[in-house]
Amino acid sequence: MFTVPELGYAYDALGENISADIMQLHHDKHHQTYVDKLNAALATHPELGEKTLVELVGNLDAVPEDIRTAVRNHGGGHYNHSLFWKVMSPNGGGEPTGALLDGIVAKYGSYQAFTDEFTAKALAVFGSGWAWLQPDLSIVTTPNQDVPFTSGQPEPVIGLDVWEHAYYLDYKNKRDDYVKAFWNVVDWNFAAERYAQPAHV
């Protein structure tokens, strides 16, 4: 049985960037629903009980066809949100340092150019989805709750939820303002650790 991880900070800790109302609803209700529906699907296939979340969502071909869509959507939702809570911090913002900053500057020219490109791709996601910084420092997007890796491949460094449920209460239709606020709370220390040593969330 999978469970929703603790948020790690108070609902209101991200201040005006993301409100307590959104954080509580997003973590306690949306994420919980993904976990509940993932568990319900897996309960019909006890033989999958030994598999990790990454093994499940990273290799959907190995998931029985009758629950493949449920695992893709709700398992992906569980993975993506579990990472997302850690990508943000009340002490976040600023710029990355060390090898991560060096890599970003080498690839994009500057931190600003990197955030401009990430922001543009996040805004270009049609409907619901995610924007990701990959371990090779490329920027990709996925629709719905699809994860940006397959089993055995390194997992993303950071991800940004651009579903409307992530920002509508605060920002209404203005996804650009939400993405701007996201940069104020990104935990670059956490990102640097994942960049240096890829690890499961």
Residues that bind Mn ion (CB under 5 A): 161, 163, 166
Closest CB to Mn ion among residues 71, 83: 83
102, two tokens: 């060096």
CA distance 199 to 21: 30
Q: Phi, psi at residue 158, to the nearest 5°?
A: -140, 160
CB of 81 to Mn ion, least distance (A): 6
Query: Distance between CA 160 and CA 155 in Å, rounded?
Result: 14
Count Cα neighbours of 51 within 13 Å in the Cβ-side half-sphere.
22
Q: Is 7 exposed, middle or buried (0-12, 13-18, 19+ CB in 10 A)?
A: middle
Question: CB of 123: closest distance to Mn ion in angstroms?
Answer: 17
Q: Which is nearer to Mn ion, 163 or 195 (CB)?
A: 163
Instruction: Find the residue with minimal CB distance to Mn ion.
Output: 161
Name the minimum Å distance from CB 53 to Mn ion: 16
Count of Cβ atoms closer than 10 Å to residue 190 Cβ: 17
Residue 17 or 96: which CB sits closer to Mn ion? 17
Rounded to a whole number of angstroms, the distance between the first and last alpha carbons of the chain is 16
Rounded to an integer, what is the distance from CA 163 to the centroid of its chain? 11
Minimal distance, residue 89 CB to Mn ion, in Å: 18
Q: How far is the CB of 15 from Mn ion (least distance, A)?
A: 19
**Closer of 163 and 178 to Mn ion (Cβ):** 163
Query: Which is nearer to Mn ion, 96 or 129 (by Cβ)?
Result: 129
